[in-house]
Amino acid sequence: MSWLGKIFGGDKPEEPASAPAGPYGLRLRGAVSVDALPFQMAGDKLVFEPPEGHQAIEAWGEVELGGGARIHRYYLTDDAFVQVNTTAGQVDGVKMFMFHETRNPPNQSAFNDWVKRGSLIGAQHIDIAGQRYVRVWGDTPESAWAPPVVFDEKVYSKDPTEPDYDLTHYAMLYQREVPGLDRYEYLLVSAEDYGPDEYCITFSIGVDVTQADLTIT
């Protein structure tokens, strides 16, 4: 509908399709808040800082892994996302990540440098924000390098039945045990290919969360 139509009472825009509820009731155009108290008590032991207040779910990402396994990502207002792994509809685990750093390779060649053998993504460990994170995925932790895990994601922000775009991830997960907290903190590094000449490298820091940690509306 044109802006003139809005002024002079033209046709009303179509209502957006109703977003189906996902795990724990998470859904596009819903909202999430996280209990900040455990993270406040942790002080500077964690690099991760949860987003404050009620966060709108502005986009939903879906990854089909095969064999009934799926990743659901719920992208929030303040550079954060909730990631839910499921198998046959049953929740296997939930993590919340905050985007920590983003880099933008200018071309295909520069992007390939991030995913080729011996690149940073897949290294045995990565040091970031004054902490060392050790590789989780790969054949053995002792190997000097492991190839990134490749998967495709469809992202929905308007119509939950029609993706706005898709992308290919070349990702690796790292972790560190947080002293005195009996928990892990994670670093997810992903080289993201959005299509011709559009690339992004994201460094996201996260933690495990439970349904009790989240208020979902």
pLDDT at 19: 77
Compute the Cα dihedral for 34, 40, 41, 43 and give only its sign: positive
Please identify every stretch of the chain with a pLDDT value under 50, giving residue numbers as ranges.
1-9, 12-13
CA 190 to chain centre: 10
- For residue 137, tell me if it sits in a domain: yes
- For residue 165, tell me if it sits in a domain: yes
pLDDT at 14: 53
Reported for 119-126, long-range contacts at CB under 8 A and 24+ positions apart, including other chains, are 119/145, 120/189, 121/148, 121/170, 121/171, 121/172, 121/189, 121/190, 121/191, 121/201, 122/146, 122/147, 122/148, 122/172, 125/174, 126/174, 126/187, 126/189
- For residue 8, tell me if it sits in a domain: no
- For residue 217, tell me if it sits in a domain: no
Q: What is the pTM of this model?
A: 0.90
- For residue 205, tell me if it sits in a domain: yes
Q: How many domains does the chain have?
A: 1
- For residue 6, tell me if it sits in a domain: no
- For residue 199, tell me if it sits in a domain: yes
Domain residue limits at 189 = 15-43+52-209
- For residue 86, tell me if it sits in a domain: yes
